[in-house]
Amino acid sequence: MAISNRRTRRLKLLIGAAVIAMAIGYLVYGGLQDTIVYFVTPSELEAKGVSAHGKSLRLGGLVKEGSWVREDGTLLHTFELADETSTIRVRFRGIPPDLFGEGRGALVEGTYGPDGIFQAKTILAKHSEEYKAAQDHAAEDSRAIMYNSVIKGSQTQ
């Protein structure tokens, strides 16, 4: 039926827009609920304690020197992420990215278990460095560092 009344038409338009706005709000809110991932530092994680269990989190810190242990024959890695005040143990199964190493920053995504160990699903490369030059390394050094980071059996110091 053709609706000829202008006021009714405008009302319909408004209702339509409101419905759409609510749909978007619902979609976004509902969508974000289970998928949003919070950044935490080791100190913040320790402070959160129990309330952080089970949630999907991103933990960023410095890989503590001497803490990186690779179980031979498997893809299991354990290491510790630290900031000024706290240290969190991390367990990861898989292949760490090339920029990962002791004494460097790392970002892991996963869940914090009641056993106090962070189960990491992925280790994220630090984006800001991906496309920039190694300004602070001399050309020779950076090559050696990179080569060694891939070829196992030689730790970079």
Partner 1 sequence: MISQLGSILLITALAVAIYGIAASVLGARLQRWEFVASAYRAVLWLFALVTVAALLLVMALVTYDFSIAYVARNTLRGTPLYYRVTALWGSLEGSLLLWQWLLSLFSAAVVFSQGRKIRDLMPYAVAILLTVSAFFLFIMVVPANPFRAQFPVPPDGRGLNPLLLTTSMIFHPVFLYLGFVGFTIPFAFAIGALVTGRLGEEWIVATRRWTLMAWYFLTVGILIGGWWAYTTLGWGGYWAWDPVENASFMPWLMGTAFLHSIMIQEYRQMLKTWNLTLVIMTFMMTLFGTFLTRSGIISSVHAFSNSSLGAYFLLFIGLLLLFSLAALVYRMDDLRGQPELDSMLSRETTFLANNVILVVITLTVFLGTMFPVIAEAVRGVRVSVGAPFFNKVTVPLAYLLLLLMGIGPLIAWRRASWDNLKRNFTYPTLAAAGTALIAALWTRNPYALITFAVCAFVTATIVFEFYKGVYARRKLAPGTSVLRALWTLFTRNRRRYGGFVVHFGVVLTILGIAVSSNFAVEKEVRVTRGETVQVGDYDLRYEGMRAYDEVYREVVWTDFTVMRGGRAIATLSPGKSFHPNEQQPIAQVGIRSTPWEDLYMILGAVEQDGSAATLKILVNPMVMWIWIGGAIITLGALVTVIPGRPTRRSAIAASEATGPAPARTLEYSGSR
Footprint of partner 1 (CB under 8 A): 2-4, 9, 20, 23-24, 27-28, 31-32, 34-39, 58, 73-75, 93-96, 98-99, 125, 127-134, 137, 139, 142-143, 145-147, 149-154
CA 46 – CA 44 distance, rounded (Å): 5
> In the complex with partner 1, which residue's Cβ is closer, 8 or 115?
8
Choose among 56, 53, 54: nearest CA to 39.
Answer: 56
> In the complex with partner 1, which residue's Cβ is closer, 9 or 53?
9
Instruction: Indicate if the alpha-carbon torsion angle 83, 114, 112, 121 is positive or negative.
Output: positive
Q: Cβ 63 to partner 1, closest distance in Å?
A: 16
CA 129 – CA 49 distance, rounded (Å): 31
Q: Cβ 101 to partner 1, closest distance in Å?
A: 11
